[in-house]
Chain A
Amino acid sequence: MPSGGRREGRAEAASPAPAVAGVSGARAPARGLSLQTSRRLWLVIFLGPAVALFATFVTYPIVSALAYSVYGWEGIGRREFVGLGNFVRLFETYPYPRLLANAFWHNVIVFALTMLVQNLAGLGLALILARGPVGARTYRVVFFLPVTLSLVIVGFMWALFLNPVFGIVNKALAAAGLAGLARPWLGDPQTALVTLTLINAWRWLGFPTLVFLAGIQAVPDEYLEAARIDGAGEGEVIRRIILPLLAPSVTIIVTLTFIGAFNWFELPYVVQGVSGPPNRATDVLGLLFYRTAFGEVDTGLQDIGVGSAIAVLMFIVMGAVATFGALYLRRREIELA
């Protein structure tokens, strides 16, 4: 395939904003009515099926589920309309407010830690791989392997490795003379959440690595050559040329990390169970919602109303942050490009 177009694209995008505006600009001049109509028809063809599918199988069920938050519930039976009653309960009835704040804070930690550890490491690995060291191909394949594993496998495997009685991690520490560092990683309130985030990073690291690698390799070589001829150091090349042109990849990774962190569910569920042990040290919003709405294995009762209210809050908070974040990142992307 011709990559010329892609390079041109970057080159043109280097002059800010118009790149996006230009898309419409080229088409905007008034043409015949038939063209207008045919354009509309094409839009319907392009967008129609996806909108229909998405509306039926995502929007409709989610809106219905969110609507549960304004009803009273008797066990699993829906009763009368209660307005904001469930929200009042969520904010005023102990222990819900404390659980909510606790879980939300954990989501923030998971996001920050994932950005810091997983995504920075991914960027570092991508920068190294982009230089084409011996075995780069093999490394690329190997690094991505864990991403192909199911979270059930990943979670189960790491839980066993970190098991205080049978696990290898503490045994390895003891063998290295660091027995003092050995601890119940997933059971200690101090370390459980961090450990869980690191397991997640182990599983996902290959993804940002490859996305960044793709972004770096899309940087036109002429730019790099020119900068090097001008005597720019390696660090400067990375900072001045590679990172700015990496903006679209960064947007993708930051957004997906944010969303992944805030509706994190699968891994904590598999490794720690639905109650976020020990004492809610690994509780996150996804678990809190699920547990409230569907009950805690066999000890908790279902409270679908309050559970749905939690989901509504998640939706509002994430929606607000994601919208502002996406707009900001997109603007920055255009400025940087």
Chain B
Amino acid sequence: MMRRVLVFLVAAVFTLPLLPSGAFGQEPVKLTFWSWRTEDKWAYDRIIRVFEQRNPGIRVEFIPYRNVEYNTILSSALTAGRGPDIIHLRAYGGLETFAAPGFLAPLDVDKVPELKRFPLQTMVGARSRKDGKIYGVPFATQTLVVFYNRKIFREHNLSVPRSWDAFLALMKTLKDKGITPLANGAKEGWTLEVLSGVVAPNFYGGTTFFEAVTRGQTTFRDPTYTNALAKMLDLRPYMPQGFMGVDYATMQQLFLNEQAAMFIGGSWEIGFFKEQNRNLDFDVFPGPPERADQVPWVSSFADGNYGINARTPHMDAAVKFIRFTATTEFGQMFTDLLRQLSAVPGVVVRDPILQHVQAMNRKATPYIMLVGFRWQAPTGSTLLQSALQAMMAGQMTPAQVGDEVTRGLSSWVDAFRR
């Protein structure tokens, strides 16, 4: 028995590929491009093919990892001086983690002249707070909205609600008719933060409050903010039964299968919904304001950036690719294929739903925690998401949520220390 195991082992050992696989010979430069967008691989592959045709000496391989492991893998690799040449990065504080310690190559305007065309506001998510330099090319702007099923609305003679009360009345009508009004659940905290990003800005006064709180003139204990959060509680009766246990995938399935009439989420869902159920007749509307005569605020943010590994051996080729991602041509393909708003200026939006999103963005306010309070740990998002779960479960009041977030943030937001 022992001997047989040994023989097998020896055999196995000899068949093992002993050396790391590498490129041989005078091949074209091969760039690796890591990302957490597993679901977008097909689109990136197509866009990359266009780039490769223009630049015959360069090959780019798009390698996506699951979002839950992406940070760990990227951190390990970069710390060990490895990692990809091109890095798909998140924005704001998520970029800072890698930029501040010097793992990313700064992209000045000499290197990537295309960046000059980007509006200043878009670049906030790509700039390091430490040295003020730019470390990435922004790829998309996301907006938080309410998705609704047009067929269900038509069947029940419902129209898009213009005020909060109309919104609640509409949901009551749907519920009375036996339809789950909202697909949203609370099992994954980030979906609750998104929910707050749609509901709250109209009640806390959008950018005015954002500026005040980021400048330290007020805190999240401010009733202006906590009363806005309290509005989320109005939605509880209209969420699926057992909504505390409803996760993101279930939310999507409920809306896709037309089992729920509405879905509060981000503009990145448009492409996914269309791809998953071609017959789904849906559109979007902004989170309803208090009164019908108000123009609603929508939360929006720079989604992320493409950056360059500071230690890439192929800097020239990498810069070439990065410049490509800053062109209108790239942005157009990105928007057409993925149905997301490219961050590149001059892109024409053809998708009607995306056009609606674009129109709403005329009164956009920064997605409050992501833009303002994700710069150090514990982040505002982390604190808010957990506290919102407690609030939705009835364990915390909105005032306690505000207190919890402010207290947690006070470890690095000086103005929040009393």
A170–B245 Cα distance when bound, in Å, is: 12
B386 in the interface (beta carbon within 8 A): yes
A11-19, A184-192, A216-224, A237-245 - the one binding chain B:
A184-192
A263 in the interface (beta carbon within 8 A): no
A300–B193 Cα distance when bound, in Å, is: 13
Nearest-neighbor residue (CB-CB) of A166 within chain B: B250
Asked whether B379 lies within 8 Å of A278 as measured between CB atoms, the reply is no
- B19-38 vs A, Cβ < 8 Å mask (1 yes, 0 no): 00000000000000000100
| Interfacial chain A residues near B188, Cβ < 8 Å | 273, 277
Which of A75, A93, A164, A300 is within 8 Å of B245, CB to CB? A164
Task: Evaluate whether A301 and B93 lie within 8 angstroms (CB atoms) in the complex, with A95-B408, A165-B250, A273-B188 already known.
Answer: yes
Asked whether A185 lies within 8 Å of B245 as measured between CB atoms, the reply is yes
A279 in the interface (beta carbon within 8 A): yes
| Interfacial chain A residues near B386, Cβ < 8 Å | 275, 277-280
A297–B90 Cα distance when bound, in Å, is: 11
| Interfacial chain A residues near B241, Cβ < 8 Å | 164-165
B186 in the interface (beta carbon within 8 A): yes
Which of B78, B395, B411 is within 8 Å of A76, CB to CB? B78
| Interfacial chain B residues near A95, Cβ < 8 Å | 378, 383, 404, 407-408
Min Cβ gap B67→A in Å is: 6
Task: Evaluate whether A273 and B68 lie within 8 angstroms (CB atoms) in the complex, with A75-B96, A76-B78, A279-B387 already known.
Answer: yes
B99 in the interface (beta carbon within 8 A): yes
Interface residues in B171-194 by Cβ distance below 8 A to A read: 185-190, 193
Asked whether A165 lies within 8 Å of B254 as measured between CB atoms, the reply is yes
Task: Evaluate whether A302 and B71 lie within 8 angstroms (CB atoms) in the complex, with A278-B244, A297-B190 already known.
Answer: yes
A94–B79 Cα distance when bound, in Å, is: 28
Asked whether A299 lies within 8 Å of B102 as measured between CB atoms, the reply is no
Interface residues in A166-193 by Cβ distance below 8 A to B read: 166, 170, 182-189
List residues of B whose CB falls within 8 A of some A CB: 36, 67-68, 71-72, 75, 78-79, 90, 93-94, 96-103, 185-190, 193, 240-247, 250, 253-254, 259, 369-370, 374-379, 381-383, 385-387, 389-390, 393, 395-396, 404, 407-408, 410-411
List residues of A whose CB falls within 8 A of some B CB: 74-77, 89, 93-96, 159, 162-166, 170, 182-189, 273-275, 277-280, 292, 294-303, 306
9 additional A-B pairs beyond A76-B79, A76-B98, A275-B189, beta carbons within 8 Å, are A95-B404, A163-B245, A164-B241, A165-B241, A184-B246, A298-B90, A300-B378, A301-B97, A303-B377
